[in-house]
Each structure stands twice: as C-alpha cells, then as structure tokens.
C-alpha cells in the first residue's frame, strides 16, 4: 500500500515538473492566433461576404496574407499570463474573443472563438 502511495506522489511530482518546463510561451500563442486567422482566410469565400468593400478586402487578403495579417493583428488585443504549470493566452478584437490555456507545449481553446455581446 505504501509503495502505491509513494508511486502516485512521485508521479504527480514528475508530472508537475514536466508541466512547469513545457508551458507554452507568448510566441506559441501568437503562432496559434496567426494560424487561426489564416485558416479563417482560406475557408472564407467571396460569396460569404455581403458588403462590396468586404469582398475587396477579402480578395486583397487572399493575394497577400502576410500584409493582411499585420493589418488585422493591429485590431486584436492579446494578453498572456504565465502560471507555474500552465499559461493563458486571451484574444479580443473585431467583435470576438477567445481564451486559450497552454500546457505541455500546446494551447487548447475550449469554447473556441465567441461573439462579444452576443
């Protein structure tokens, strides 16, 4: 019985130590944000945009995704918090928000992107 308890305690300590050194940083959150924006850009068709100016903006973004990302990124506020064994990366802008939790080198965003005020 004592061996099982000791094994459990050692396992918890090792898991905590691994979590401490593998909590993703702010750069990983920024990469996840960029990937999500690029994914949205590639899956949105011109027929899904109603406003003529929106269609022009989407077409321009498809032609130069890097420049588009820079313009969109300026309108998005992010907040990074590092905790001992995990990190939090929050994103808000363009009427939407998301909160992602990072552990073991990965960010997970439960609930995904949500509409603000909706």
> What confidence score (pLDDT) does residue 52 get?
78
User: CA-to-CA distance for 69 and 61, rounded, in angstroms?
Assistant: 8
Q: Which pLDDT belongs to residue 88?
A: 95
pLDDT along the chain (118 residues), means of 10: 86 81 86 85 78 80 85 90 92 89 90 79
Question: Distance between CA 34 and CA 26 in Å, rounded?
Answer: 12
Q: Quick one: the chain helix, strand, coil %, rounded to 5?
A: 55, 25, 25
What ranges do the domains of the chain cover? 2-115
pLDDT value at residue 65: 85
Q: Which of 113, 114, 110, 101 is nearest to 28 (CA)?
A: 101
Per-residue pLDDT, 118: 58
Say if residues 111 and 101 touch (Cβ distance below 8 Å): no
């Amino acid at each position: 019985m004592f061996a099982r308890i000791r094994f459990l305690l050692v396992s918890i300590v090792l898991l905590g130590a691994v979590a401490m050194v593998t909590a993703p940083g702010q750069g990983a959150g920024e990469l996840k944000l960029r990937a999500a924006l690029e994914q949205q850009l590639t899956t949105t068709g011109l027929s899904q945009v109603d406003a003529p100016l929106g269609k022009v903006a989407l077409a321009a973004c498809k032609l130069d995704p890097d420049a588009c990302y820079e313009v969109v990124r300026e309108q998005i506020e992010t907040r990074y918090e590092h905790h001992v064994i995990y990190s939090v990366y929050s994103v808000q802008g363009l009427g939407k928000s998301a909160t992602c939790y990072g552990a073991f080198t990965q960010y997970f965003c439960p609930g995904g992107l949500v509409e603000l005020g909706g």
